[in-house]
């Protein structure tokens, strides 16, 4: 489904365009890509590289290990990929960024799309971040070898929320992180398996009781595993 404003547009700046769409070319996101619910454009940063070798990196000022992506090369790549009136947020995948949340994913999925810069090496020259208005986004407190896998995570989380990608499930109101809760447990057939039965209430046909049980379980699991998600005073599942 293409909305009135056209598809949700993503542009990825990377040294490894072959990594895209990768896993996003399969399953729900791949079908949606084929149906033009969203679009994916990759730009090789090396196209703006310098000299015969199309060099994109250089040694860190002040010394130290590794290499740094040049600000002039990256800025040229961003400028070549985006018009000055491009309304899309420009993100830089970065372990220093604000950690990605489901709330942020929802906001990004509701917008026109994304321009995503994938870092490599030790990272990018700091000046291009301010110079091109890049917002740093992290997918978690660990270090990847490059921004591409992080960009795939970000895109996957956005694309599944686009209208028409997941069908009815997409409303996702019961899902983890909606309403600051982790999700309740799921079960399906067989009813008894290796001495473990599906909780009786789920077979009762009593929808109100099922809903109550699911709310209580979601709260119990969240309090146990991720009390940081709960508001103060919400921590006691018995409450």
Q: Contact positions toward ligand SAH, by CB under 6 A?
A: 93-96, 118-120, 122-123, 138-140, 142-144, 146-147, 150
Nearest distance, CB of residue 44 and ligand SAH, angstroms = 16
Q: Which residue's C-beta sits nearest to ligand SAH?
A: 119
DSSP string of 71-101, one letter each residue: HHHHHHHHHHH--TT--S-EEEEEEEEEEP-
Rounded CA-CA distance 229/183 in Å is: 12
Report, in Å, the least distance between residue 120 CB and ligand SAH: 6
Least Å distance, CB 84 to ligand SAH, is 24
Closer to ligand SAH by CB, 32 or 116: give it: 116
Comparing CB distances to ligand SAH, the nearer of 11 and 222 is: 11
Give least dist CB 126 to ligand SAH, A.
11
Residue 15: CB minimum distance to ligand SAH, A: 11
SS3 for 48? Answer: helix
Phi then psi for residue 156, to 5 deg, are -55, -45
| Alpha-carbon gap, residue 60 to 49, rounded angstroms | 17
CB nearer to ligand SAH: give 19 or 198: 19
How many CA atoms are closer than 13 Å to the CA of 150, on its beta-carbon side? 28
Indicate the residue among 102 and 138 with the shorter CB distance to ligand SAH.
138
CA distance 17 to 15: 6
- Smallest distance, Å, CB 149 to ligand SAH? 8
Which CB sits closer to ligand SAH, 150 or 162?
150
In order, the DSSP letters of 2-35 are --TT-PEEEEEEES-GGGSSGGGGSHHHHHHHHT
When the beta carbons of 93 and 165 are compared against ligand SAH, the nearer one is 93
DSSP state of 162: S
Provide the 8-state DSSP code for 183: P
Rg (CA), the chain: 22
Minimum CB–partner distance for residue 32 and ligand SAH (Å): 24
Residue with smaller CB distance to ligand SAH, 140 or 179? 140
How far is the C-alpha of 236 from the C-alpha of 239, rounded, in Å?
5
């Amino acid at each position: 489904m293409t909305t009135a404003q056209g598809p949700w547009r993503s542009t990825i700046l990377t040294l490894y365009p072959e990594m895209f769409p990768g896993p996003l070319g399969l399953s729900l996101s791949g079908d949606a890509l084929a149906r033009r619910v969203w679009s994916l454009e990759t730009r090789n940063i090396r196209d703006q590289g310098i000299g015969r070798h199309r060099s994109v990196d250089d040694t860190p000022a002040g010394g130290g290990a590794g290499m740094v992506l040049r600000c002039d090369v990256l800025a040229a790549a961003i400028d070549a990929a985006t018009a000055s009136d491009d309304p899309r947020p420009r993100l830089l995948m970065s372990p220093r960024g604000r950690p990605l949340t489901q709330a942020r994913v929802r906001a990004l999925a509701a917008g026109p799309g994304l321009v995503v810069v994938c870092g490599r090496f030790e990272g990018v020259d700091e000046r291009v971040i301010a110079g091109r208005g890049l917002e740093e986004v992290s997918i978690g407190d660990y270090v990847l070898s490059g921004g591409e896998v992080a960009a795939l995570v970000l895109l996957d989380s956005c694309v599944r929320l686009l209208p028409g990608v997941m069908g009815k499930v997409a409303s996702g109101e019961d899902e983890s992180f909606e309403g600051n809760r982790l999700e309740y447990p799921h079960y399906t057939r067989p009813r008894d398996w290796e001495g473990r039965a599906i909780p009786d209430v789920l077979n009762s046909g009593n929808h109100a009781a099922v809903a109550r049980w699911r709310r209580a379980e979601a709260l119990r699991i969240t309090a146990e595993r991720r009390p940081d998600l709960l508001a103060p005073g919400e921590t006691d599942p018995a409450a």
